[in-house]
Structure 1
Amino acid sequence: MAYFELGEPLPEVDPALLQDERLRTLLSACQTHPDIEVRELRRVSGDTSFDLIVVEAGDGTVAPRNEAGIHRRERLALYYQNENGIPFQVRALRLDFPDTLHQNGVESGTPKSLCLYEQDWDTVERSWTAPKLLAQILRWLEKTADGTLHAQDQALEQVFYGSGIQLVLPANFAAEIDSPRHELRLHRAPGSPQRIVLIGTVDDRDPAVSSALPFQVLSIALDGVAHPPIQAPPTTLGQLQGLLERVGTSLFPALTEIICAKARDGATPAKGETRKKVMLLLRIPRLRENVRERIDVLGFLLDADLAGLGLALGVLQQTQPNGPAFPFHQLNTAQTAAVSDGVWSQIGLMPVDLRESTTRASARHWSGISEGAGEFRGLLAGVGALGSTLADLWARSGWGCWDYVDPDLIEPHNPIRHLARQGDVGRPKVDVVRELTAATLGESCSDSNDLPVKANAGDEAALATAIARASLLVDATTTLSVPRDWSERDVPRTASVFLTPSGQASVLLLEDAARRVRAASLEAQYYRAVLRSSWGAGHLTTESAVRRTGAGCRDHSLVMSAESILLHAALLSRRLRQSANGTTASIGVWSADSESGAVSFHDVPVRDMRQLACGNWKIYWDDGLDEHLRALRARSLPNETGGILLGVTDHKLRTIHLVDALSAPLDSSSSPEGFTRGRDGVTQARRDCLARTARMVDYIGEWHSHPRGVVATPSSLDVELLAHLATALASDGIPGVMLIVGERDLSISLGSCIDV
């Protein structure tokens, strides 16, 4: 049996003769292993001198006459030299050792190299030992022989070893490259000199590549290939054809057909730097059990232009020297086109590792977003610190196509927390965010708009169009006006997201898909949770959180780190993305510990919304408050009971949202015939409410119950109470609310003073 002989033999198998301590350790392991026989030591001299151990390896697990062609015992060379990123190398010395899966790329005419590890050496090294290497060699031989080395769930191996040169194709390459208005242009990306990365574009308006060398792209589809042994890359067109034939496919006739098609108007040969070299792209379906698993695209830069390639192949012909070449069938000649042997096969080529710029679909895949879940139109109102970070996250994950709405400009302090950079100061925030997000992936939403207006503007046609075409509106304005105004309008499903002034907490309010519970009602229910929950204490604290950013009275901002923005933006984004797939409403609150950074989540139950028109006011409450009032009444029966009402009043919209009802003070007077509310603790309860809700929720009126069997219709005494209530609240310019809980019903009355 014939074997490769590397270097020269050393006089004897003596560890002292080896130059490397690591190889001496490996020799010791070989000598003590029952299935490894050391035959000799050899030394390879030259620019790099190294020693190797020649062994016979086999543990009896390799079946005789297996289809892979692995022998029961194989002669191997073991040595220490960093090749393919792995210092310890294993070469099969048998001259006719078969091409198999899981081999490293080596030069032609040299021993095959066994690929033993899927992980890189930095990981393998942590647990590597010489005995483990020997066990891995025996496993490789066994599993390769029985065909189980490559796992069924593992991706099909590439057809050729990589060349170290990478071409990044534009995401829209397949759709646009056949257009006569476009051609692929390449320029080299700046970076490490150890790796060549070429960036391709078909946008001839891009000034960055206006001087780049153009290439003539020939893209052809070949027959499918199953699971061939990985092969070293070719250096000539003839070698490429030979390697393709070995795996059951061919360049022809697809190559000659596309050359004739591209040269139908004539192809003139050029010389030197003016040549538009051919970029040959091969689309090869990869088959597993005769079913297509994927399509590999292989790239090769040919040392020939279209005319030169066609002439060398004999499928183009010139009618005059140095003139254009045409396909044979377009010429009045008796000759026929045929692929000639010889010249074409010597055309040099450079294999290229093709990658496609990330598409929005692939971004969703790698972000774990289910297919179809990210294909929708959205509108993001407010692209400040939080909004711009959300826009960035959604652009990176390909979630939604967004229009951006914000009237503000980038201020000098904004880059501290904003996606913008210092050079963007003075520009509209929407312009900056749209440009940055559009450049994130290789593919962007071509029709995204940036609208420098207020999101609740009622007279902006472009805004109305953007809202009408969206299926989700996200309010990140950190204002009260936008979500409240949207709640009163016929707009798509709305979400409101914000951080609290401290930066330690964040909130998501998401309407249900049918908008039965609007954002303003969710705001009220959120405030009730703030008032009742332990986490609500200090949740909306604003002390020492505001700083001046200019001389104007409104030139101020919050003290908040970019870390807080990034943390809560990620939490809000994930929850919103997941919840938006469903149809139910949601209130989520996250609280981060300022010392440890630990985050706790509070899921606030959402209750159905109710509403009542009282004159030119609208009053809103929810089932949760209704049940709370009935429970307070039930606990006091047979006596009446009552207390104060807390709520949110919006004078512009003329809406009142009932938030909570407090139980009767301890000094109240209660009987089956009536109820008189006391004062004990009421003032402090109001102060606590204002403090917890940042003065958003305040006293708005009174509630009381009626005894058993009595409906909620106001009595004459109740009417007098309402008049007194209206007078008491008139100084603040707000109407008074009186709510009565009856046996089975509930009534709400509104009282206000009118100047006469």
Structure 2
Amino acid sequence: MNARESEFYPLLGDAVEAVTLTIPKAVELVQALQSQGLPYMRLVNCLRFEDHEVVVVDVEPEVPQHPVHDVRSVERIAIVYAQVDTDHQTILALRRDFPLVPHLHFGDEGMPRSLCLYQTAYADLKPTWTAAALLRQLQHWLTQTARGELHAADQALEQAFYAPRERLVLPSAFFAPDASAVLEPIIVRFASKVLGQITLVASPVSAVSATEGQQAQLASFVYTAQPQVHGLIHEQPRTLAALQDYLAETDAGFTHALRQHLFALKGAPSFDSGLKLLIIIRLPKRRTATGAVEAMEVWGFASSSTLAEIGTDLGIWEVYENNLAQLFPIDSAKTGQESTLILLNPVCALTRKLAAAYNGLRPTETRFVAIGAGSLGSQVVNNLVRAGQGNWVWLDEDQYLPHNAARHYLPGNLVGHGKAQAMVSLLKGSH
């Protein structure tokens, strides 16, 4: 290996001729490179390992005389294609000293930097994907990174993790930028599992009935971390210990706070050691180390273990004769290494402001009186409320009867109720 080759990370796989590639997108990429329509890119070689094919290219970005980041005039890049075309191609910068810059995927130490070329989900990009567009985007990424312009000053901050399919609906207060905000306790319940996608819904205790409260299947723990600077997209933490490791760069208090929370739960009369745990992490984000907090990033983590098992894994108690025996002192060596977590993508519950935004409007709080809650009035006011428009008072003494269900907004299970009262009850939670 010559001196230049030693600058690059080695790749897994066997070298193959370009004409033997079988993955369609890899074939298309090679054809685009060989067409000579992309003069600043050169095919280096191709490899195959397991069910993947790799195309290695040299790319020439436009690098200024004094680059902000150490991007070279020629960068060697490996583009990895999987046989199953369900996700973005993996883009690896093979130079060993490629800089740590924004818009990289988190990677293990001693491995090539993985470039994040797109903010768009692959499912949305796939219908219009072309090899030429990928290569141009790669060259653009390197050029803008060299200039320090890839992440624009007005662009949203980089998120900590990739959003998973599993969702968690949270009250809007959890997304408030004030790190010291006092958050009302929540009730968490399993809502649905559709096509393998789980959705959990968290509601403020004051907004749920006693019956709904009994449906809770997870205890909750909310933790607001210390502010952190946005940067790499990290691999999602899969255990409590890994979550603490992720937070440790700016905040070492998570594990201690969780232990104290579990002690408090155990002391409550309603404690159920068989419940799973939902952890909600609020991450105040800064653009720079000295900048102000610009956003509150929120993530949810559902445990696979019960509260009893988590407390044992955190060294605060042991199970003895079907009881939880508290340890004095705690076993500090246990930090949740065995407590696995499932990452959830938090979604903000609908608010007046969001309802208006989704309808392309500004929210209003003008007071209106709706005279009549019949077939027409119910539909009109329903649409206005769901668009974040107005505060409404209803005037209607009529009763909702079976024949009204043919055209009325109210569902059939409210037959027998007063129309006005039923509409108020039904729309109260719309924003």
Between the aligned partners of 2:294 and 2:21, the Cα distance in structure 1 is 48
Please, which runs of 5 or more residues in structure 1 have no aligned partner?
Answer: 329-334, 442-756
Between the aligned partners of 2:128 and 2:260, the Cα distance in structure 1 is 52
SS at match of 1:153: coil
Higher-Rg member (1/2) = 1
Between the aligned partners of 2:85 and 2:246, the Cα distance in structure 1 is 22
- Counterpart of 2:45, as a letter, is E
Between the aligned partners of 1:20 and 1:41, the Cα distance in structure 2 is 12
- Counterpart of 2:296, as a letter, is I
Q: Is the 8 A contact 1:406 1:429 kept in 2?
A: yes
Between the aligned partners of 1:361 and 1:258, the Cα distance in structure 2 is 36
Task: After TM superposition, give the deviation of residue 231 of structure 1 in Å.
Answer: 0.6
Residue in structure 2 matched with residue 359 of structure 1 by the alignment: 351
Q: Structure 1's 84 and 217: CA in aligned 2 closer, same or farther, altered over 3 A?
A: farther
Q: 1:341 aligns with which of 333, 337, 350?
A: 333
Between the aligned partners of 2:32 and 2:107, the Cα distance in structure 1 is 27
Q: Is the 8 A contact 1:4 1:111 kept in 2?
A: no
Residue in structure 1 matched with residue 267 of structure 2 by the alignment: 265
Residue in structure 1 matched with residue 133 of structure 2 by the alignment: 132
Q: 2:31 aligns with which of 21, 24, 28?
A: 28
Task: After TM superposition, give the deviation of residue 146 of structure 1 in Å.
Answer: 2.9
**Equivalent residues in 2 for 1:334-413 (5 A)?**
340-367=332-359, 370=362, 373-374=364-365, 377-410=367-400
Between the aligned partners of 1:309 and 1:422, the Cα distance in structure 2 is 45
Between the aligned partners of 1:301 and 1:419, the Cα distance in structure 2 is 37
Between the aligned partners of 1:267 and 1:434, the Cα distance in structure 2 is 36
- Counterpart of 2:378, as a letter, is S
Residue in structure 1 matched with residue 59 of structure 2 by the alignment: 57
Paired residue total: 413
Q: Is the 8 A contact 1:42 1:53 kept in 2?
A: yes
- Counterpart of 1:385, as a letter, is S
Residue in structure 1 matched with residue 239 of structure 2 by the alignment: 236
Task: After TM superposition, give the deviation of residue 226 of structure 1 in Å.
Answer: 1.8
Residue in structure 2 matched with residue 555 of structure 1 by the alignment: none
Between the aligned partners of 2:339 and 2:263, the Cα distance in structure 1 is 21
Task: After TM superposition, give the deviation of residue 221 of structure 1 in Å.
Answer: 1.8
SS at match of 2:377: helix
Q: Structure 1's 363 and 427: CA in aligned 2 closer, same or farther, altered over 3 A?
A: same
Matched, 1:279 2:278: yes
Q: Structure 1's 177 and 310: CA in aligned 2 closer, same or farther, altered over 3 A?
A: farther
Between the aligned partners of 1:72 and 1:64, the Cα distance in structure 2 is 12
SS at match of 2:201: strand
Task: After TM superposition, give the deviation of residue 235 of structure 1 in Å.
Answer: 0.9
Q: Is the 8 A contact 1:105 1:161 kept in 2?
A: no
Q: Structure 1's 257 and 147: CA in aligned 2 closer, same or farther, altered over 3 A?
A: farther
- Counterpart of 1:138, as a letter, is Q
Between the aligned partners of 2:256 and 2:9, the Cα distance in structure 1 is 40
SS at match of 1:355: strand
SS at match of 2:78: strand
Residue in structure 1 matched with residue 11 of structure 2 by the alignment: 5
Task: After TM superposition, give the deviation of residue 431 of structure 1 in Å.
Answer: 3.7
Q: Is the 8 A contact 2:67 2:147 kept in 1?
A: no
**Equivalent residues in 2 for 1:595-674 (5 A)?**
none
Task: After TM superposition, give the deviation of residue 233 of structure 1 in Å.
Answer: 0.1
Between the aligned partners of 2:164 and 2:110, the Cα distance in structure 1 is 18
Q: Is the 8 A contact 2:225 2:247 kept in 1?
A: no
Matched, 1:186 2:225: no
Task: After TM superposition, give the deviation of residue 167 of structure 1 in Å.
Answer: 1.4
Between the aligned partners of 2:173 and 2:294, the Cα distance in structure 1 is 22
C-alpha deviations, 1:380-411, integer Å up to 9, x for none? 11122331122212321333332222133446
Residue in structure 2 matched with residue 628 of structure 1 by the alignment: none
Q: Structure 1's 127 and 187: CA in aligned 2 closer, same or farther, altered over 3 A?
A: closer
**Equivalent residues in 2 for 1:195-274 (5 A)?**
195-201=197-203, 202=205, 205=209, 207=211, 210-213=214-217, 215-246=218-249, 248-252=250-254, 255=257, 258-259=260-261, 262=264, 265=267
Task: After TM superposition, give the deviation of residue 44 of structure 1 in Å.
Answer: 2.6
Q: Structure 1's 348 and 123: CA in aligned 2 closer, same or farther, altered over 3 A?
A: closer
Task: After TM superposition, give the deviation of residue 285 of structure 1 in Å.
Answer: 1.0
Between the aligned partners of 1:123 and 1:253, the Cα distance in structure 2 is 38
Between the aligned partners of 2:123 and 2:103, the Cα distance in structure 1 is 19
**Equivalent residues in 2 for 1:527-538 (5 A)?**
none
C-alpha deviations, 1:554-595, integer Å up to 9, x for none? xxxxxxxxxxxxxxxxxxxxxxxxxxxxxxxxxxxxxxxxxx
Q: Structure 1's 344 and 34: CA in aligned 2 closer, same or farther, altered over 3 A?
A: same
Q: 1:437 aligns with which of 405, 427, 430?
A: 427
Q: Is the 8 A contact 2:353 2:362 kept in 1?
A: no
Between the aligned partners of 1:96 and 1:304, the Cα distance in structure 2 is 41
**Equivalent residues in 2 for 1:568-607 (5 A)?**
none
Q: Is the 8 A contact 1:219 1:283 kept in 2?
A: yes
Between the aligned partners of 1:392 and 1:210, the Cα distance in structure 2 is 30
Residue in structure 2 matched with residue 37 of structure 1 by the alignment: 42
- Counterpart of 1:353, as a letter, is N
- Counterpart of 2:409, as a letter, is L
Between the aligned partners of 1:397 and 1:228, the Cα distance in structure 2 is 36
- Counterpart of 1:29, as a letter, is A
Q: Structure 1's 245 and 267: CA in aligned 2 closer, same or farther, altered over 3 A?
A: farther
C-alpha deviations, 1:34-85, integer Å up to 9, x for none? 322212111233xxx3433111222351667854x54443322235448895
SS at match of 1:345: coil
Between the aligned partners of 1:84 and 1:21, the Cα distance in structure 2 is 10
Q: Is the 8 A contact 1:395 1:438 kept in 2?
A: no
**Equivalent residues in 2 for 1:62-211 (5 A)?**
66-67=68-69, 70-81=71-82, 88-94=89-95, 97=98, 100-103=101-104, 112-120=113-121, 124=125, 128-170=129-171, 177-178=184-185, 184-193=187-196, 195-201=197-203, 202=205, 205=209, 207=211, 210-211=214-215
Between the aligned partners of 1:87 and 1:296, the Cα distance in structure 2 is 24
Between the aligned partners of 2:312 and 2:278, the Cα distance in structure 1 is 17
Please, which runs of 5 or more residues in structure 2 have no aligned partner?
Answer: 1-6, 175-180
Q: Structure 1's 34 and 358: CA in aligned 2 closer, same or farther, altered over 3 A?
A: same
Q: Structure 1's 212 and 4: CA in aligned 2 closer, same or farther, altered over 3 A?
A: farther
Q: Is the 8 A contact 2:48 2:54 kept in 1?
A: yes
After TM superposition, the structure 1 stretch with the greater mean CA deviation from structure 2, 401-410 or 218-227, is 401-410
Q: Which has the higher contact order (CA 8 A, sep 6+)?
A: 2
Task: After TM superposition, give the deviation of residue 199 of structure 1 in Å.
Answer: 2.2
- Counterpart of 1:357, as a letter, is A
Q: Is the 8 A contact 1:83 1:89 kept in 2?
A: no
Q: Is the 8 A contact 1:264 1:327 kept in 2?
A: no
Between the aligned partners of 1:107 and 1:351, the Cα distance in structure 2 is 20
- Counterpart of 1:280, as a letter, is I
Q: Is the 8 A contact 1:7 1:44 kept in 2?
A: yes
Q: Is the 8 A contact 2:241 2:335 kept in 1?
A: no
Give me the CA root mean square deviation.
3.9
- Counterpart of 1:292, as a letter, is V
